[in-house]
A and B are shown apart, each in its own frame.
Chain A
Amino acid sequence: MRTSGAKMWVRAGLFGVVVLVMAAAGFFFLKKPALDMNVPGARSLAPPVRIPPFALMDQRGRTFNNDSLAGNWTLAMIGYTYCPDICPTTLREMSSLYKQFDRPPDNIRAPRFVFFSVDPFRDRPEELGEYVGYFHKDFLGVTGKPEEINRLVTGLGLFYIYQDPQGVFIRDVLHKPAMDNYAVVHYSGLLFITPRGELAATLQPPLATDDILAVFRKLRAYYGE
């Protein structure tokens, strides 16, 4: 019943290995920053990462692809609705952030907010819609074929992997894991995407409204609306 201390260390070690493998694979956070953000946990990407072609759909079944990112800034995160701790913490922060947009003093136009599900086997559009809609009526929940999601996430230099309840990693993210209550280990930072569909910066949790706004203001001043 009791997991031995040694086993816990093996697990912690495995997680370390995953992090190292990502770093070795040229994970974007190793690139040199373009803009000094002066916000703890924020990184700007130089040059911004062009988002690879992808075709997914939102909670209403409408196509969501690269064109859907055009014309306005996008704040985004990757996650899954079965995530009880970190995803709702971020979404809660985002819903309070959205009260600051489109109003004085600075009347900043609200960026779109997208929650990309990395668990398409359990997050069907209806549940995803109910989930993101709970936090804000305008939030988009995007999902689709496992291959498309994987291509988008890895193309952004990000990463996710499944994990069984005993903590063992399941490398195959293209098929539904055999057990029901698997978890998803995932990148949990906030993504800032330009109106040209490029990833310009990331911000790591814990997120604070003022930090998100500071990063967003800087990016808008640098890249334009």
Chain B
Amino acid sequence: MKQSMKILFLFCLLAATRAGATEILVTDPWIREAPPSVRTLAAYMTISNTSTHAVGLESATSDDFEMVDIHRTETQEGMSHMMKQTGLQIKGGENVRLEPGGYHLMLMQPRRHLQADDTIILKLHFDNGEDISVAAVVRKQ
């Protein structure tokens, strides 16, 4: 019962923040579960731009983390390297996937321990003025 109320609340919250937002769609947001000692996590999702012009993700925030950065992992000749991105451009009509080994939101210094099935609100700020809150599910994956 408690869980379903929570889901309902999140749904209302999402519906509220989505009102008026028509260009950007975020699907399947998730966070990889990690042991409690881990101080940095990663969030993944697919961001779709349904408009005909480019829209950029400028930044992201979350009440559950001190800091959130847009990152990209690059692997060259077996060397892996994370690069902080100043933004992430999504062309009109296209999707960008944030996925393991590529783009991700780097979530730093969690304010609480996250476990599988927890839901975390991430706020995404886009350069077209849209602010989208998404409910990312923590998964053991």
Chain A contacts to B: CB under 8 angstroms: 2-3, 8, 11-12, 15-16, 18-19, 22-23, 27, 29, 81-86, 88-89, 92, 126-127, 130-131, 133-134, 159, 163, 165-167, 181, 183, 185-189, 202, 204-206
Offer 21 A-B interface pairs, CB within 8 angstroms, sorted by A: A2-B86, A11-B83, A15-B79, A81-B38, A84-B34, A84-B40, A84-B41, A84-B106, A85-B104, A86-B101, A88-B34, A126-B37, A131-B37, A131-B38, A181-B40, A181-B67, A181-B108, A183-B82, A186-B80, A187-B79, A188-B75
**Chain A residue at minimal CB-CB distance from B35:** A134
**Chain B residue at minimal CB-CB distance from A122:** B39
Beta-carbon contact of B101 and A29 below 8 Å:
no
**Chain A residue at minimal CB-CB distance from B106:** A84
Beta-carbon contact of A167 and B83 below 8 Å:
yes
The yes or no answer to B20 lying at the interface (CB within 8 A) is: no
Cβ < 8 Å to A, chain B residues 78-111: 78-84, 86, 100-101, 104, 106-108
Contacts of B71 in A (CB 8 A): 85
Beta-carbon contact of A84 and B104 below 8 Å:
yes
Contact of A86 among B35, B73, B76 (CB under 8 A): B73
The yes or no answer to B22 lying at the interface (CB within 8 A) is: no
Beta-carbon contact of B80 and A86 below 8 Å:
yes
Beta-carbon contact of A159 and B79 below 8 Å:
yes
Distance A81 CA – B41 CA, assembled complex (angstroms): 10
**Chain B residue at minimal CB-CB distance from A185:** B81
Contact of B82 among A8, A81, A85, A126 (CB under 8 A): A85
Beta-carbon contact of A85 and B73 below 8 Å:
yes
